[in-house]
Amino acid sequence: MRIGLTSGDIAKSNNDAILFLTQEQLKAFKKSSKPVLYDLVEDSLEQLSFKGKLGDIEVVPTKLGRVIVTGLGKEEKLTVETLRRAAHVALRTTSKMKIKAISAAVPDVSLTEKETVRALSDGFRLSNYEFDQHKSEKDSKYNRVAEVKIHINKLNKELEKTLLYSKVSCDATNLTRDLQTEDGDVINSEYLAKFAQKLAKSHKLKLKLLNRAKLKKEGLNLILGVGQGSRFEPHLIILEYNGDKRSKEKTAIVGKGITYDTGGLDIKVRWMADMQMDMSGAAIVLATIKAAAELKLKKNIIAVAPVVENAVGQSAQKPGCIVKSYSGKTVEIGNTDAEGRLALADALAYVNKNYKPTRMIDLATLTGAVVVALGHNRAGAWSTDEEMMFKLKAAAETSGDLIWEMPLEDDYEEYLKSKKADTNNISSYRTFMGLAGSTTAALFLRKFVKDTPWAHIDIAGAGMFEKRRFYRPPNGTGFGVRLLLDYFNQK
């Protein structure tokens, strides 16, 4: 989809047009700021008893074409999220009417022009997505809108930059959604390894790829153990982007890449059919480093993804076995379905030791417990570093990829004790939904990060959901890409 800015008169454009209105504007416009389109629709809106609530929409035919009047709700409640949602509502109506090109009047609201333009563009782009490549009936395919022209008062370079940022970050989000939702036999660990190779080439990134033989040689036995029942070869992907050669700072973003999670021999009794999305973390870090390179962000980033399938079969890892991790710590595999933390533990320890990042952030569809705690709107976030948490929260607010801070409760570490090894991979308290199950998973990971400032984001809820919520489609949501990009894009 092309989205462009123009200072041209919207009344003179040949396109149908979107007009966003707050409830207050509907009642009384300040004379000076009354948009041209408003005169054309005022009487009709009265007859239609249009209230202007968020979600309200009316298509009004006028002598200058159709005007899609879209409510923004109350001004005092208006945020960038309101605009993203309203843009989604308008775009879906546009698409249903099979309109290919549309103009939109930028609303006059109490946000900066930059915030307004970005929010509208993000809302349009994130909404103009559907996972419909496997639908054969033409009618059941989504009608993508090809072009939006946003009409503003005065053009400037800063706003053009904002639009580019929106395009690159939303394209990366939509790419993540495709990778998440597609069949796990297609997006398998070998596919993702090849994907990383292509990305390294096209975006001039440094790549280190550890295949099965190299994982064995280096002793990343936790990753190997998770993958030993699969016909696909496991890999550890490490991609480097150096956008600031003068800085010693470098952040590792580490994504869980379980391309399918059957649970292993502790086979899943629920939710298995969604487990092609258990590589969401890997998809996010790959798409994020791609976008960071395209945007030429002035940051040094290492994208890390253990990509491996948790399968069942005669060679699958057995519950109760003991594995020596890359860090040297031995792990009793109390449950083969707690595989994400195993793969991540080796990945975190390996990158920490060999790349010496100044910070690490991991993203993972790690626990059902976080879905119970927070639902699908927010990811759970744990951190050993206050400043990282503060910056992540700020990025959550600007991007709309919301997080909620959770505690690294030291006292619960004893839940992970093992009688046979240095640690167990599950808590011994599994009664009543697992007793702080998402926190014990975070505490397990903390054992492998040493002193490096670290944050862990559990996206089991926010990353995937069967229901559409405004501009977030069902299945893979792409949550996390725009969060990370906004985090890196901070001053």
The residues binding ligand BES (CB under 6 A) are: 261, 271, 278, 335, 337-340, 365-369, 371, 426, 437, 460
Among 58, 171, 240, 278, binds Zn ion (CB under 5 A): 278
306 binds Zn ion (CB under 5 A): no
Residue 335 binding target from Zn ion, ligand BES, none, CB below 5 to 8 Å by type: ligand BES
Q: How far is the CB of 275 from ligand BES (least distance, A)?
A: 6
- 362: which residues sit within 8 A by CB, 6+ positions away? 253, 254, 255, 256, 281, 344, 348, 445, 454, 455, 456, 457
Q: Which range in 172-180, 274-282, 325-333, 450-458 contacts Zn ion by CB under 5 A?
A: 274-282
**Shortest distance (Å) from residue 406 CB to ligand BES:** 15
* Sequence-separated (6 or more) residues with CB below 8 Å from residue 42: none
* Residues classed as catalytic: 268, 341
Is 461 a binding residue for Zn ion by CB under 5 A? The answer is no
Other C-beta atoms lying within 10 Å of the C-beta of residue 51: 12
Q: Which is nearer to ligand BES, 453 or 480 (CB)?
A: 480
Stretch that binds Zn ion, among 39-47, 163-171, 258-266, 465-473 (CB under 5 A): 258-266
- CB proximity list for 293: less than 8 A, separation 6 or greater: 203, 204, 205, 241, 243
Which is closer to Zn ion, CB of 102 or CB of 308? 308
Distances 161 to 80, 117, 167, 295, 484 between C-alpha atoms, Å: 18, 11, 10, 10, 18
Q: Which of residues 333-362 bind Zn ion (CB under 5 A)?
A: 337, 339-340
Closer residue to ligand BES (CB): 142 or 271:
271
Q: Which does 362 bind (CB under 5 to 8 A by kind): ligand BES, Zn ion, none?
A: none
Q: Where are the beta strands (DSSP E) in 352-447?
A: 359-364, 378-383, 402-405, 423-424
| Least distance CB 187 / ligand BES (angstroms) | 15
CA–CA gap between residue 171 and residue 197 (Å, rounded):
20
* Contact of residue 369 among ligand BES, Zn ion, none (CB under 5-8 Å per partner type): ligand BES
Nearer to ligand BES among residue 180 and residue 335 (C-beta): 335
CB of 371: closest distance to ligand BES in angstroms?
6
Backbone angles phi, psi at 212, to 5 degrees: -55, -45
Backbone angles phi, psi at 448, to 5 degrees: -115, 10
- Tell the smallest beta-carbon distance from residue 362 to ligand BES (Å): 14
Residue 485 binding target from ligand BES, Zn ion, none, CB below 5 to 8 Å by type: none
SS3 41: helix
DSSP one-letter string for 247-311: ----EEEEE-EEEEE--TTS--SSSGGGGGGGGHHHHHHHHHHHHHHHTT-SSEEEEEEEEEEE-
Chain residues that interact with Zn ion, rule: CB under 5 A: 258, 261, 278, 337, 339-340
